[in-house]
Amino acid sequence: MHHHPHNETNQKPERLLRFVEVSSRTRLSKSEIYRRINAGTFPKSLKLGPRAVAWRESDIDGWIQALSHP
């Protein structure tokens, strides 16, 4: 399930992560994610539609890396 094809990252468009995936990667609840967005300590989501949001994979990966390498 967790495969990272590093060889094709340069010609691949940015992957967008839905809430479920962001939540499982960051191990944060929905309310905690929104609390941090409002506090300015979490990447902002992109609005895909009236009820759909997503995050750039690079934003989430960068945020996780910043946490593990202060």
How would you write the pLDDT of the chain (70 residues) with one tens digit per residue? 555 555 555 667 789 999 999 999 999 999 999 999 999 999 999 999 998 999 999 999 999 999 888 6
Range of the domain at 60: 14-68
Query: pTM for the complete prediction?
Result: 0.74
63 CA to centre of own chain:
8
43 domain-assigned: yes
So what's the pLDDT on residue 24? 96
8 domain-assigned: no
Domain count, the chain: 1
CA 19, CA 33: separation in Å to the nearest integer? Answer: 9
So what's the pLDDT on residue 14? 83
